Amino acid sequence: MLFSSSRPGDGRLTQELDPQDQGPQDACGVFGVFAPGEEVARLSFFGMYALQHRGQESAGIAVSNGKRIMVFKDMGLVSQVFDEGTLSSLKGHLAIGHTRYSTTGASVWNNAQPTFRSGPRGGIALGHNGNLTNTEELEALLAERGVADVPRKLTMDSTNDTSLVTALLSTYDADLDEAAREVLPHLKGAFCLVMMNEHTLVAARDPQGIRPLVLGRLEQGWVVASETAAIDIVGASFVREIEPGEMVVIDQAGLRTERFAEARPKHCLFEYVYLARPDTIIGGRRIHNVRVKVGKILAEESPVEADLVIPVPESGTPAAIGYADQSGIPFGQGLVKNNYVGRTFIQPSDTMRRMGIRLKLNPLRDVIKGKRLVVVDDSIVRGNTQRQLIAMLREAGAAEVHVRISSPPVEWPCFYGIDFSTRAELIAAGLEIDEICRSIGADSLGYISLDGLIRATHVTKDNLCRACFDGVYPVQVPPGARELGLTPTQEPTT
């Protein structure tokens, strides 16, 4: 669906703060490009295509031709939302793109991004990866600044945190970078933002740098993206990571950068485990290599006698390679994954639930039959995947199934952009490892230790957010966190 605006106060865009706008804000992909003379919508399309793993629920692009901003966004995968006709109609020199991810909550158009709002100086479009934890404060600030059309109380899991930022920015009769300079210091939580008006692209990363954000150079311009893989794919060269607490401003005059807050790095450890693409580089290290190393450490920490190491593709593959290498047990492909099953199609109907994991994974019976298997996956969250998978492997003739997990048990909710929402949902929050092992039906279960995982990243423990594993929250959590199972000892440290 397309909308556009060149006029302040465009009435068509009031849906930005629609009361139906609900659902969790999760790990998403953001992309921005400033490149006069290039097809910026097409570049955004390919950048978002590379970031599809970070969000499969909706996709959107905002483009400016210097006079007005056009926004096109809809539910579905990037390739479902955009076609040749749409892309060629989105003309301009400046664009931002967003892919949104959510496993629960409302899958509605209003949750798609970029968000858009008109301000005194024109339009503002914004895309957000992360989750803000002080929406109540921001709502109060917005009311102070005289915005009357945010009538309802915002819930902590509302996607409206993004709309709130857009609304706050639009209250300033100022250039976008000036408005951002005012607004950014008020935001708490995890945020990688790409924003634009008709002339300027601004990218900003929270002071903890919880989610990744990188800068790339095109021959005739600049790109910013959640991951380096997106920079590679659009043919840009990687320049550097955008620093925690840094704001980058790009316009006709070039690129300027400044700090809106002191850097206090707390990079998300789960990006290393699962979220980021294996070909992405974070902190100077290729994610694939970190995951292989994790698999090696896992083999040292949790050895087992077996005939074959198989990954749960694709997320378990690098760690399985490392496990096999370190243990000397042969590596094999025992499961075939259908990569084309988008979340959009997996509606929670009974029929779909029954099909369950078979929609995604099918065992290679000849490989598995009679073998003592080591099955390597990146994480157990609710435990459903492993339970179904193990039953399927036994049905396919596996003699033994030993599960090895390349992250520690996920015990605590994430308030910074991953959908680990309540403790009750997390199998490791309520059960000991031997109980989880029985619950999923494995012959044995081993997780990598937290120290082992951290060692593989080469980042110091203090510079990582490990909250989902150890319950130490580095940034203010939302007011309702306690109801989600957070105990007072897990209150934030800053």
Give me the residues that bind ligand AMP (CB under 6 A), please: 103, 274, 312, 315, 377-385, 418-419
Min dist. Cβ of residue 388 to ligand AMP (A): 8
CB nearer to ligand AMP: give 383 or 471: 383
Distances from the Cα of 297 to the Cαs of 280, 311, 327, 427, in angstroms?
Answer: 21, 16, 10, 24
Provide the 8-state DSSP code for 347: -
State how far the Cα of 339 lies from the Cα of 348, in Å rounded to an integer: 19
CB nearer to ligand AMP: give 214 or 468: 468
Q: What is the CA radius of gyration of the chain?
A: 23
Min dist. Cβ of residue 420 to ligand AMP (A): 7
Min dist. Cβ of residue 384 to ligand AMP (A): 4
* Burial category of 223 from C-beta neighbours within 10 Å (exposed 0-12, middle 13-18, buried 19 and up): buried
Provide the 8-state DSSP code for 231: H
CB nearer to ligand AMP: give 162 or 386: 386
CB nearer to ligand AMP: give 183 or 290: 290
Min dist. Cβ of residue 460 to ligand AMP (A): 24
Residue 254 CB partners (closer than 8 Å, separation 6+): none
CB nearer to ligand AMP: give 16 or 378: 378
CB nearer to ligand AMP: give 49 or 274: 274
CB nearer to ligand AMP: give 80 or 384: 384
Hey, is 441 helix, strand or coil? coil
* Burial category of 386 from C-beta neighbours within 10 Å (exposed 0-12, middle 13-18, buried 19 and up): buried
The verdict on whether 28 is a catalytic residue reads yes
Min dist. Cβ of residue 370 to ligand AMP (A): 25
Spell out where 111-180 has E strands.
Answer: 115-119, 122-132
Single out the residue of 169, 30, 42, 166 nearest to residue 93, CA to CA. 42
Residue 258 CB partners (closer than 8 Å, separation 6+): 181, 246, 247, 249
Single out the residue of 286, 190, 289 nearest to residue 238, CA to CA. 286
Single out the residue of 292, 333, 326 nearest to residue 310, CA to CA. 333
Peptide bond into 114 cis (omega under 30): yes
CB nearer to ligand AMP: give 180 or 192: 192
Q: Is the backbone of residue 74 left (phi > 0), alpha (psi -120 to 50) or beta?
A: beta
Min dist. Cβ of residue 127 to ligand AMP (A): 19
**Chain-centre distance of CA 8, in angstroms?**
32
Min dist. Cβ of residue 30 to ligand AMP (A): 17
Residue with tokens 């601004």: 202
**Chain-centre distance of CA 10, in angstroms?**
31
337: β partners: 361
CB nearer to ligand AMP: give 224 or 405: 405
- Give the angle subtended at the CA of 166 by the CAs of 96 and 169, to the nearest 5°: 110
Give yes or no for a contact between 95 and 61, defined as CB atoms under 8 angstroms apart.
Answer: yes
Which of 28, 414, 437, 465 is flagged as catalytic? 28
Q: Percent helix, strand and coil across the chain, each rounded to 5?
A: 35, 25, 40
Min dist. Cβ of residue 404 to ligand AMP (A): 13
State how far the Cα of 490 lies from the Cα of 65, in Å rounded to an integer: 48
Min dist. Cβ of residue 346 to ligand AMP (A): 11
Copy the structure tokens of residue 65: 């031709």
The full length of the chain comes to 494
Residues serving a catalytic function are 28
